[in-house]
Amino acid sequence: MSADGYSADQPAGERLQKVMAAAGVASRRVCEDYIAQGRVTVNGEPVVEPGRRVDPAVDEVALDGVAIQLDTTKRYVMLNKPTGVVSTMKDESGRPDLRRYTDRYDERLYNVGRLDAETSGLLLLTNDGELANVLAHPRFGVEKTYIAKVRGSVTAPVLRRLKEGVELDDGPIAADAARMLGNPVGGYSMVELTLHSGRNRIVRRMLAAVDHPVVELVRRSFGPLHLGTLAAGEVRDLTKVERGALLTLSRAARSGSDATDAAGAEARATVDDPDTLDTNPGAPR
């Protein structure tokens, strides 16, 4: 009999409710209730026995379909990249790079995708290579939303053309969504574009193709993540809810499941509804 009351012939690992509580989901008692209610899955299978043992380094746990981060060695950081900073860890030309933001962390963080030097906005930094590969791979179509200040007065036919598709040197491209923000002022318009392409400088090239060159460009969202009020040049760790949303998307994509799109929608809804993984606000964090 071991110190925690379990015999040597029982499965190795830690009790599920203990692992969930350590991950910051809720207290052990509340986690036991979640398990009894059938809201928890381990490796995709529902679990209703609170004594179930799991290996945090191997098993994947989810609550209400939203992934729970068990590997505490993984770090996820949001940066609002300023203009003038290149999206690399070391620039051979000596330009400002991302080391000024990553050097403060013990983990070796890398950027997921790139923003060109003159584009500001949301950039994800992480040491989770598997998740980074999913988010950056065009196969999985992770959406990004940009706000562009462009020259000229953008009209409804121009927005329709952006959504129907424009022809570029490397092939046609269409925005998933395009809309005006306010009215044109002083010869400039503000346009919001959403697309899932990862092609180089794609937003600038699309808008140039419709005769509205970009003056300023900022990425406001990346998958389920939103820049919010994070100031230019500032960084912050992702919240528990944001991490869950990203991991949910990553797991669905990695499994090759047709449910990837549904997982993405659920992940976005989770970020929009932060109570999804916080049903016990008084629980230890």
- CA dist 8 and 1 (Å) reads 6
3-state secondary structure the chain: CCCCCCCCCCCCCEEHHHHHHHCCCCCHHHHHHHHHCCCEEECCEEECCCCCEECCCCCCEEECCEECCCCCCCCEEEEEECCCCCCCCCCCCCCCCCHHHHCCCCCCCEEECCCCCCCEEEEEEECCHHHHHHHHCHHHCCCEEEEEEEECCCCHHHHHHHHHCEEECCEEECCCEEEECCCCECCEEEEEEEECCCCCCHHHHHHHHCCCCEEEEEEEEECCEECCCCCCCCEEECCHHHHHHHHHHHHHHHCCCCCHHHHHHHHHHHHHCHHHHCCCCCCCC
- Looking at residue 156, its amino acid is A
- CA dist 140 and 209 (Å) reads 26
116 is catalytic: yes
The catalytically annotated residue of 55, 116, 272, 273 is 116
Cβ atoms within 10 Å of 226's Cβ, excluding its own: 17
Q: Which residues are catalytic?
A: 116
